[in-house]
Structure 1
Amino acid sequence: MQDRAPRLTGLGHALPARVVTNDDLARTLDTSDEWIRSRSGIATRHHVDPGTATSDLAAEAGARALKADLHTGGTGEVDLVVLATTTPDRTCPATAPLVAHRLGLGTVPAFDVNAVCSGFLYGLSTASAMITAGAADSVLLVAADTFSTIVDPADRRTAFLFGDGAGAAVLRAGGARTGHAPTVHDIVLGSDGGQEDLIITPGGGSREPGSDERWFTMQGQAVYRQAVDRMTGSTREILDRTGWAVDEVDRFVGHQANRRILDAVAHRLGVPADRVVANLDRVGNTAAASIPVALSDAHDRGILRPGDKVVLTAFGGGATWGAATLTWPDLG
């Protein structure tokens, strides 16, 4: 056992109250419930109301994770806040310090990470490294996105896919020094900036500061192929590094982008369908939040049990991707 290794002690998620059904979308788009379900597996998603920002969802999810941390014997306080998001409240400043302030965490360091739909895994790697290095004993990792604010509501290709949400996890130092078994075993990450145009919001940054192209765009078929290839490849790599065989995996939690992507990756890996965790039928693609929302939801429903061997994997804009292995803790 490592001297210092991250363990999960609290988990929580938050979804906006407003539920948008496929039939709701069909009133303004040339689409139907059957068309959306057959192409994505999504039936409903949650959208923020005007005036609600990413920080609102992030703070709510963070508060729930901190409360859960107290339940497992934690302090409800942390040394660091990391927020994974593509939809910050503002271009400047970062949103994480505001989330830390709203949670009453004082003047702890806080910063944003942007790896789009791979954001939670990039944040998990960052938080884990800080704990392992001794730079922090505890980290609140939040992943939150409000993609309904950047997706063109009139775009039939993307409007049906995305929902808003936030998921949060409290990580504390475990390992030989503490006597607590670690939760996070290993993480692999990758990127390919040559494919930045696969998933992109063209305007608003320093490249095109005056552009009117404020809407998110995506090359659907190319993203599908890359997502399946990269999620499959990174999962195989992480299993090899951890020393787990595919048939040892109890739960497979992929980025909740599209049911066809999840099924294709599981099929390539040989993961049985009953071990695939999915909730995108109810929440859609919540971008960086999708994995922690799926984990928190699965924990609440009793799907994840202490001791389960869990694999996470994601693909997102950048292009970015990654995978991680965890042993599920007893969160009560």
Structure 2
Amino acid sequence: MDNVVIAGVGKSIPSKVVTNEMLCQIVDTNDECITSRTGIKQRHITTGENTSDIASKAALNALENANIDALDIDLIIVATCTPDMFTPATACIVQKNIGAKNAFAFDLSAACSGFIYGINVAKSMMKQNNIKKSLVIGAETLSKTLDWKDRSTCVLFGDGAGAAVLSLDQNEGIIDVICNSKGAKWENLTIGARDINNPYVDEVSSINHYLQMNGGEIFKFATVTIVKLIKEILKKNNLILDDIDYIVPHQANERIIQFAAKKLDISMDKFYINIHEYGNTSAASIPIAISEIEEKSLLKKGDKIIAVGFGAGLTSGACLIEWTK
């Protein structure tokens, strides 16, 4: 059994809903403006849970969906750009929370592409090291990074987590993964960390700790990248768009998805979209969407999906999956 499949999926969404109308009470904007430019109608915001908390709930839901015990998990990867703290890894806290004491755990930082990067890393480690079962989690509490006076960013993001259980199997499952990065463009989307401040520096650095984004540059990058990655992974695997049942894009902006559909000459119905409810949840957006697809029984065994992500770094990635559940 040298193939890796998705054996189960799950999600966890904070209960607090913040609508566009509610944001109008905080910043100078309106529902029509937000909806027309992004497709977002609301987002879910934590009222106290940290990233490890919602990641743990998503993990437990994925384990239940897979009918697998936490003690059977060998590896936990949490993809996040909003960890609980610099160290320990959020994945180690999740390990404790869910009782996966036989696993080893670490975090991965690739922003909105993080879940796809995590799938790629887990798949490679499982095939090379005979790791039988893994948890890959995308989890974010982006609300703690936002400047709630900046209407260009605070209306876009939400909190949430999604998880997938990966298992060695005779079926192909995760067929192919592509990961890219364009570090020369890193300054276009950032969340600042700690200032440089020690006795040997002449001047203490001053870092903006809020999420900052050059929206125009990110939009241009995303619209080109999503089309390129979909075409590339299809070509690599001798497939055409008609072979794909769903494309699951990172939920950043509905206009990006509309652009991709036009360039690919396909219906928007080919894309699974839930940005209207959750906004941009970064590394969590793709696993949340896949979990919803499973909940709604939209996939049957043998169906194929492409997950495609893009974000800070600038990172990007695509994953071709055959559904085996």
Give TM class, smaller chain.
over 0.9
Kept after mapping to 2: 8 A contact 1:247/1:271: no
User: How much does 1:87 deviate?
Assistant: 0.3
Kept after mapping to 1: 8 A contact 2:142/2:158: yes
The equivalent of 2:271 in structure 1 is 276
1:238 corresponds, among 233, 237, 247, to 233
The alignment-based identity, stated in percent, is 36
Distance 1:289 1:229 in 2: 22
Normalising to structure 1: TM-score of the pair? 0.93
The equivalent of 2:179 in structure 1 is 189
User: How much does 1:202 deviate?
Assistant: 3.1
Distance 1:163 1:13 in 2: 14
Distance 1:271 1:97 in 2: 42
Distance 2:304 2:28 in 1: 42
Aligned partner of residue 325 in structure 1, secondary structure: strand
TM alignment of 1:150-229, pairs within 5 A: 150-175=145-170, 181-204=171-194, 211-229=206-224
Kept after mapping to 1: 8 A contact 2:190/2:211: yes
- The answer to whether structure 1 residue 27 and structure 2 residue 25 are counterparts is yes
The equivalent of 2:137 in structure 1 is 142
Per-residue CA shift, 1:244-280, capped at 9, x if unaligned? 1112211011000010011111221233211110011
The equivalent of 1:95 in structure 2 is 90
User: How much does 1:220 deviate?
Assistant: 0.4
Distance verdict in 2 for CA 1:205–1:92, change over 3 Å: farther
Normalising to structure 2: TM-score of the pair? 0.95
Aligned partner of residue 318 in structure 1, secondary structure: helix
Aligned partner of residue 305 in structure 1, secondary structure: coil
The equivalent of 1:178 in structure 2 is none
Distance 1:210 1:304 in 2: 51
Aligned partner of residue 6 in structure 1, secondary structure: strand
2:9 corresponds, among 11, 34, 40, to 11
Per-residue CA shift, 1:158-179, capped at 9, x if unaligned? 111101000000000012xxxx
User: How much does 1:29 deviate?
Assistant: 0.9
The equivalent of 2:289 in structure 1 is 294
User: How much does 1:312 deviate?
Assistant: 0.8
Kept after mapping to 2: 8 A contact 1:252/1:271: no
Q: C-alpha root-mean-square deviation of aligned residues, in Å?
A: 1.6
Per-residue CA shift, 1:108-152, capped at 9, x if unaligned? 210000000000000000111112113411101111001111011
Distance 1:282 1:301 in 2: 16
User: How much does 1:218 deviate?
Assistant: 0.4
Q: Would you say how many aligned residue pairs link Structure 1 and Structure 2? A: 319
Structure 1 stretches of at least 4 aligned residues deviating more than 6 Å after TM superposition:
none
User: How much does 1:317 deviate?
Assistant: 0.4
Give 2:29's aligned amino acid: T
Aligned partner of residue 153 in structure 1, secondary structure: coil
Aligned partner of residue 261 in structure 1, secondary structure: helix
Aligned partner of residue 187 in structure 1, secondary structure: strand
Kept after mapping to 1: 8 A contact 2:195/2:207: no
Aligned partner of residue 140 in structure 1, secondary structure: strand
Give 1:59's aligned amino acid: S
Give 2:189's aligned amino acid: I
Distance 2:212 2:319 in 1: 28
Kept after mapping to 1: 8 A contact 2:74/2:102: no
The equivalent of 1:56 in structure 2 is 53
User: How much does 1:297 deviate?
Assistant: 1.0
Kept after mapping to 2: 8 A contact 1:203/1:209: no
User: How much does 1:182 deviate?
Assistant: 2.1
Aligned partner of residue 28 in structure 1, secondary structure: coil
Distance verdict in 2 for CA 1:206–1:233, change over 3 Å: farther
- The answer to whether structure 1 residue 267 and structure 2 residue 257 are counterparts is no
